Structure 1
């Protein structure tokens, strides 16, 4: 046996030992000894190549607002009086647009111990290391009867604040004595029942990349009854459930299972009440929050298009195990999977039929979208990591596929 062959064998053995043991604790999963990547079957076809495209790039007509004033307008809402938009941003505030003279004002906060450490510098930048202190409001939904704003704070749980804002108060922060780790989105039905998603019982928002790479299936769809103060589990074993919207007639709700790139329907009324089925399968990208218009149609923004690496590495858990053991930061690893900037919003009927596709294929105006809310003929576009809000005039989009 030649020296080069011996050295190659020793090197391979060393790398295998290092990736298996992480002796220096430099990997992103060094604090997660139970990290266990799951087998994830790939789609039967490439969904990116099998959907119609908006070759006119209609989202390039988006009006970009407030660039650099804040970061991460995750979810967008308007109150029962039509004021807004409201959005939660990365420094832990819920802010409201009060017109060109006043601009954005602070409407509410979720953290009771908020300090100036949470405040943006100039320019505004994320401070993910302080999210647990400052709060990170994600889902927002106004109660139409009371005017109260309900908030899904990723770290602090389900909260609410009165019509005039202030410091939010907790509604539910745990289930069966176990605090929530990643509350994400919510909606409220005509009977005042709150439906919300618990994306993971294992990981926090700062660890989303790890959860996605693992294929974590500890997510849940929950409901909370304010009258009885009872919280119950509707569905369990989900891979990162996210946006949720109740249908126009209240007979069902739709929610996104982000890691599996699909939408579920959970029946609330009728002969199928209490059961669930797939609403839309094999989306071409990663869904986040959901919007619904007055016609009962659903807006589905895609944070990014799927990639071959993401789709087909799911069948090889050992490769994902090796990747997370590398002595690299999460941002560095994320770049391996990061697709090029792109923006996609899909519009579906209440029966799950695709009606319209809006894109910015270059990502020059908008990209990494996580919300699309229709209001007064405009589509308000949010992003969990972009320093801007987008406003797209729907009058410039009249064609259906």
Structure 2
């Protein structure tokens, strides 16, 4: 008897849909493989936090820390295994309704952290309040700058300091969105991101790069001759020349895989970039088609959008690029998300250890590469 006579037609329908679903997932949602990546991040040691989202970490001039910027508006300091995490500072005086698991705008959302070595002051990019500063004793941070060239700083993200010139360089990632809606900025195609230079002596805030698409990480190079800023949407790393024959001009320094977050200079003059997740086909389609990105913004819940970005399987990636040429030197990953997920920053210490943090998870991690 022919198969068509033995099996009812309706019985084949679920099987067809199942096959199409598998093909669609493999084609649209499965993340791209990263050629040459080393799956070593699962070997990192986990240091839990009592609150989510240590987006950025930093050490003070005496080597104390790390300090971590967390989701409830505070900066916590690690005092070792015996004392654990203690509160060091906060960016907003409004602490009554702050959540350890989600952003409350009135509490602020500290992101990038940078210590000024000569003063011991900690500078904080807050995704709601602007660029803040707190002294070596901690406490409530004070506002440094929240506007540039007549436009309010809506989304201060990461910064670096040229201490010789008393210049602060920082990202303002959007003129429409604050931190909580960052993924809409990634997908909807808007190009209102800026890199701003603020001089502490003159109090002047000047835009040195604009027309950026969700610029996220920022760092000065070792001799302070240029500053780089990466776009999370495109993976492009833009460079602005501060000194030398190209001073005042900009170019493309590098392109990295995935959706990059913070940038940190290494002791040898290269850069580490934290990568939120690898890209997949559906993410690329949304990012590269503005009409589709705007449709997603209006119709898709943010939680689902985040899951779609990371293929519904959070993982961790770190990329090292040359401080001279921008070429990719190394890619490390936690392919299955066994230990590290949503990596937002990679900080290489003088002893060679890599400290990694996460914009969402309640942990930092340490990878001893020796």
Shorter chain as denominator, the TM-score bin is 0.7 to 0.9
TM-score normalised according to structure 1 size: 0.80
2:316 to 343, 356, 360: 343
SS in 2 for 1:312: helix
SS in 2 for 1:260: coil
Report deviation, 1:349. Answer: 1.7
Match of 2:303 in 1: 331
Report deviation, 1:388. Answer: 0.9
Report deviation, 1:342. Answer: 2.1
Deviation by residue 1:147-199 (Cα, 9 ceiling, x = unmatched): 10000011010010101111100001123454321110000013221000000
Match of 1:237 in 2: 211
2:261 to 283, 288, 306: 288
Match of 2:46 in 1: 64
The 8 Å contact of residues 110 and 137 in structure 1, kept in 2 or not, is answered as yes
Match of 1:261 in 2: 235
Match of 2:68 in 1: 87
Report deviation, 1:101. Answer: 2.4
Deviation by residue 1:323-365 (Cα, 9 ceiling, x = unmatched): 3443x53223443443232221111221213222211111111
Match of 1:73 in 2: 54
SS in 1 for 2:272: strand
2:339 to 333, 355, 365: 365
The 8 Å contact of residues 51 and 284 in structure 1, kept in 2 or not, is answered as no
Report deviation, 1:205. Answer: 1.1
1:143 to 105, 112, 116: 116
The gaps in structure 1 that reach 5 residues or longer are: 1-46, 121-125, 396-401
Match of 1:12 in 2: none
Q: Does 1:118 align with 2:95?
A: no
Report deviation, 1:270. Answer: 0.3
Equivalences for residues 12-161 of structure 1 within 5 A: 48=32, 51-54=35-38, 57-66=39-48, 69-115=50-96, 117-118=97-98, 120=100, 126-128=101-103, 130=104, 132-161=105-134
Report deviation, 1:294. Answer: 1.4
d(CA) in 2 for partners of 1:221, 1:308 = 29
The 8 Å contact of residues 167 and 198 in structure 2, kept in 1 or not, is answered as yes
The 8 Å contact of residues 160 and 170 in structure 2, kept in 1 or not, is answered as yes
Q: Does 1:393 align with 2:365?
A: no
d(CA) in 2 for partners of 1:337, 1:384 = 15
d(CA) in 1 for partners of 2:301, 2:284 = 22
Match of 1:399 in 2: none
The 8 Å contact of residues 191 and 213 in structure 2, kept in 1 or not, is answered as yes
Equivalences for residues 197-346 of structure 1 within 5 A: 197-281=171-255, 283-326=256-299, 328-339=300-311, 340-346=313-319
SS in 1 for 2:117: coil
Report deviation, 1:299. Answer: 0.6
d(CA) in 2 for partners of 1:177, 1:318 = 29
TM-score normalised according to structure 2 size: 0.86
Q: How many residues align?
A: 336
d(CA) in 2 for partners of 1:181, 1:286 = 21
SS in 2 for 1:107: strand
SS in 2 for 1:274: coil
d(CA) in 1 for partners of 2:290, 2:215 = 21
d(CA) in 2 for partners of 1:324, 1:195 = 30
Q: Does 1:192 align with 2:174?
A: no
d(CA) in 1 for partners of 2:356, 2:146 = 28
The 8 Å contact of residues 241 and 255 in structure 1, kept in 2 or not, is answered as yes
Report deviation, 1:240. Answer: 0.7
The 8 Å contact of residues 291 and 299 in structure 1, kept in 2 or not, is answered as yes
Match of 2:137 in 1: 164
Report deviation, 1:92. Answer: 0.5
Q: CA RMSD in A?
A: 1.8
